[in-house]
Structure 1
Amino acid sequence: MRLVLANAEEQVSRDAVTYSAWGSPLTREGYLQRENRLRTHAWSRAELKMWLLCEAPGEVLASCETYRTDSFLRAPDGTLSAGDSYAIASVFTEERLRGRGYATKLMDLLAAELERASPRVHSAILFSDVGAPLYQRSGYRETPAWDWRFSPEPGEPSALVDRLLQDTDVGATLARMRRPDAPFFYWPTAEQVDWHIERERIYAELMPRPRPEANGAIAGDSTALWYMMGRTGTLMVLMLDARTAEQAAALLGTARRVAHRAGLSKVVLWEEPATAPLVAKVTGGTRELRDGSLPMIRPLRPGLPSPELTPIPRALWV
Structure 2
Amino acid sequence: MTASAPFAHDDIHLIRAYSPDIIQQTWANNRVEWGPSLDEETYYARERMLASQEFTRDNKLQVWVLVPKTFDSVKPQLDLILSAVETFARPGIVASKDQGLKDVLSISVASVFTPAHYRGRGYASLMMKLLWKEIGNMKDVQFSFLYSDVGPNFYGRLGWTPKRSEEIVIPTAYTIPIHDSDSAAAGDDRSGVRKSMTVEKVTDSNVSELIVADAKQVRTLLKAQIETASSSKVFAVVTPEPTCVLWYHARARFAAQHVLKLEQYQVTEWGAKQSKSFVLWYHDLLKEQLFIIRWYLDPSDGDETARSLIEAAQMEARKWKLSKVVIWNPDQPLADLLQLEIKYRDGAIPSLGLINSTVEKDNVEWVHNEKYSW
TM over 0.5: yes
1:309 aligns with 2:365: yes
| 1:1-318 correspondence runs (5 A) | 1-7=12-18, 8-46=20-58, 47-55=60-68, 56-57=70-71, 58=77, 59-76=80-97, 79-118=100-139, 120-153=140-173, 160-177=197-214, 178-179=217-218, 180-181=221-222, 183-205=235-257, 206-209=259-262, 210-243=265-298, 244-272=302-330, 276-283=331-338, 285-304=340-359, 306=362, 309-311=365-367, 312-317=369-374
Q: Distance in 1 between matches of 2:157 and 2:98?
A: 35
Deviations 1:170-212 (A, max 9, x none): 2111123231535221113110111111111110112234455
Amino acid at match of 1:151: P
> How many residues in Structure 1 have an aligned counterpart in Structure 2?
311
Deviation at 1:267, TM superposition (A): 0.3
Contact 1:226/1:236 (8 A) holds in 2: yes
Q: Distance in 1 between matches of 2:282 and 2:164?
A: 23
Partner SS for 2:66: strand
Unaligned runs of 5+ in 1: none
Amino acid at match of 2:365: L
Deviation at 1:281, TM superposition (A): 2.8
Deviations 1:264-295 (A, max 9, x none): 110000114xxx03312322544221131101
Partner SS for 2:337: coil
Answer with 94-103 or 159-168: which moved more: 159-168
| Aligned CA distance change for structure 1 residues 161 and 111 (closer, same or farther; 3 Å) | farther
Q: Distance in 2 between matches of 1:101 and 1:65?
A: 18
Contact 1:72/1:80 (8 A) holds in 2: yes
Q: TM-score, with normalisation over the residues of structure 1? A: 0.91
Deviations 1:205-229 (A, max 9, x none): 1223445552101112201111101
Contact 1:248/1:278 (8 A) holds in 2: no
Unaligned runs of 5+ in 2: 1-11, 72-76, 176-195, 226-234
Partner SS for 1:26: coil
Q: Percent identity?
A: 25
Contact 2:212/2:241 (8 A) holds in 1: no
Q: Distance in 1 between matches of 2:211 and 2:31?
A: 33
Partner SS for 2:105: strand
Partner SS for 1:43: coil
Contact 1:297/1:307 (8 A) holds in 2: no
- Is the radius of gyration larger for structure 1 or structure 2? 2
Deviation at 1:12, TM superposition (A): 1.4
Amino acid at match of 1:94: P
